[in-house]
Amino acid sequence: MIPLIIIFGLGSRQKQVGEGQFFCPRCGTQRRYIQKQANRYFTVFFLPVVPLGKIGDFVECQTCHAAFETTVLNFKAPPPPPPSLAQLLNTAKERLERGTPIEYILRDMTAAGLDRDIAHSTVTNFVKDGRKTCSSCGLSYHPVAKTCQGCGKLLS
């Protein structure tokens, strides 16, 4: 019976109760977690190292191994900041060539504060006269675009 007592004494009573993906505040990104249930002994044993707040479940990041209260699972990753006008202008040509509809590029540019006429002439400068228009939904594209992102139709 003695080995059994030693195993308990080492705090092996934590058990896994769940797992999944969460936003780890320490890593600052999406990570895999394991949710564990800690008994009193385990919690007391770890209290100086890991501030769990209360005895019960905790969530452990499988990348940085930090432990959090289960409320961390309610946190959502902060939305990425909207691209700046400079970024939009720098990436517009590439996005057009990757098949992003001209209308979407214009919408992004004007949303970022660019004058509509300037946005139009900027895009026109990239696509020249070769723009393709989807016969099904009316979105228009750079001449290298192959399929419509709006409806999936092949562009001719």
Q: Which residues sit at the interface with Zn ion, rule CB under 5 A?
A: 24, 26-27, 31, 61, 63-64, 134, 136-137, 148, 150-151, 153
Distance of closest approach, residue 87 Cβ to Zn ion, in angstroms: 26
- CB of 26 or CB of 40, closer to Zn ion: 26
Find the shortest distance in angstroms from Cβ 49 to Zn ion.
16
In the complex, the smallest distance separating the C-beta of residue 33 from Zn ion, rounded to whole angstroms, is 8
User: Shortest approach of Zn ion to residue 68 CB, angstroms?
Assistant: 9
Q: Please, which residue, 6 or 71, has the CB nearer to Zn ion?
A: 71
Question: Nearest Cα to 69, choosing from 39, 32, 106, 37?
Answer: 37
Q: Crossing angle, helix 116-127 and helix 85-97, to 10 degrees?
A: 30
Cα-based distances in Å from 132 to 22, 94, 119, 136:
42, 16, 18, 12
Cβ count near 121 (within 10 Å): 10
Token code pair at residue 131? 């723009």
Q: Which is nearer to Zn ion, 26 or 107 (CB)?
A: 26
Order of strands, edge to edge, in the sheet holding 57-61? 15-24, 29-37, 57-61, 67-69
- Residue 91 exposure: Cα atoms within 13 Å on the Cβ side: 14
Burial class (CB in 10 A: 0-12, 13-18, 19+), 37: middle
Nearer to Zn ion, 44 or 151 (CB): 151
Q: Given the complex with Zn ion, which of 38 and 61 has the nearer CB atom?
A: 61
The least distance separating Zn ion from the CB of residue 106, rounded to whole angstroms, comes to 16
